[in-house]
């Protein structure tokens, strides 16, 4: 069946970050496609992964780190990002917050997600956008 059922979202904060840093939908899909193949930069547990995303025109090693709430073959929510040079890692308390968020966000129904999109809290990342 492949990844046809997979959906990717970004929260409002990440949407602003992606626009400011010129991060395309294709780059986000690329990061999730790698995760689908088992190529995860760091599995923080509880449905939270850290994934590199390329800076436009540069290699992934010069790019960004993103925090993704992720369930294989189902959904990925980009919730946080930062330039690799700024921050080597997130703090333990932040990691715990992301795990708590993953537990509730990954449990949302399609209808609940649709409402969050309508409220402007999330936006779906279309594959060709």
Tens digit of each residue's pLDDT, the chain (129 residues): 344 689 999 999 999 999 999 999 999 999 999 999 999 999 999 999 999 998 777 765 678 999 999 999 999 999 999 887 665 667 888 999 999 999 999 999 999 999 999 999 999 999 865
* Surface-to-core class of residue 128, CB atoms within 10 Å of its CB (0-12 exposed, 13-18 middle, 19+ buried): exposed
pTM for this model (two decimals): 0.90
Which residues are CB-neighbours of 65 under 8 A, at least 6 positions away? 41, 50, 51, 52, 53, 81, 82, 83, 84, 87
């Amino acid at each position: 069946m492949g990844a046809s059922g997979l959906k990717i979202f970004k929260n409002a904060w990440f949407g602003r970050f992606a626009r400011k840093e010129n991060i395309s939908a294709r780059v986000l899909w690329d990061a999730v496609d790698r995760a689908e193949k088992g190529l995860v930069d760091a599995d923080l547990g509880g449905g939270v992964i850290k994934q590199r995303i390329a800076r436009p025109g540069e290699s992934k090693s010069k790019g960004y780190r993103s925090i993704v709430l992720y369930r294989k073959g189902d959904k990925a929510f980009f919730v946080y990002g930062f330039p690799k040079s700024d921050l080597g890692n997130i703090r333990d308390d932040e990691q715990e917050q992301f795990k708590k968020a993953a537990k509730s966000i990954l449990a949302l129904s399609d209808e609940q997600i649709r409402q969050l999109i309508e409220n402007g809290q999330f936006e779906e990342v279309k594959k060709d956008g």
